[in-house]
Structure 1
């Protein structure tokens, strides 16, 4: 597992706190994928209700609070495939 994925798993786990319902996959281009669900956050490429895809730089900005997830989506830096309602819950948790 890459250092980028390890760091993202840790930061995302802290943000979501294990209270996330649904299954979301975060694809970090060139690095791998992370899945968040009710059991926690882990490096995985499992099926999900919603998939969010972005560069490592964009994910880092969202996880550190430097980039608003909605703004990232509106500017094309973040691609979302699947359940948009679940994506909106994630945006609230990350903001």
Structure 2
């Protein structure tokens, strides 16, 4: 597992802080690996998910750091979403 994924898992778990996420989402970080988010929190993995969000490591870090809004990243083509768009919007709310 890459350092980017390890750091992102820790940051996601801190951000979610028992916020609860109903569903399964996958963050696919290009050239680094995948992160699964579900009711148990975030972890490295490549399980099937209801929605997959794909971005570069730089964009993903900017989203986690609050420098880029996930919706803005999607609208500008920096973040792609495959699957349940409603669940992606819920995840955006959890991460904000």
Match of 2:90 in 1: 89
Matches within 5 A, 1:5-20: 5-18=5-18, 19-20=20-21
In structure 2, distance between residues paired with 1:23 and 1:51:
9
Structure 2 unmatched runs, 5+: none
Compare 69-78 and 8-17 and name the one that shifted more.
Answer: 8-17
Match of 2:32 in 1: 31
SS of the residue 2:21 aligns to: coil
- Moved segments of 4+, more than 6 Å: none
TM-score relative to the length of structure 1: 0.96
Match of 1:68 in 2: 69
How many aligned positions are there? 95
Match of 2:49 in 1: 48
C-alpha offsets along residues 22-67 of structure 1, whole Å, 9 cap, x if unaligned? 0000000000000000111100000000000000000000001011
TM-score relative to the length of structure 2: 0.95
C-alpha offsets along residues 57-84 of structure 1, whole Å, 9 cap, x if unaligned? 0000000101100000000000000000
In structure 2, distance between residues paired with 1:28 and 1:78:
10
SS of the residue 2:68 aligns to: coil
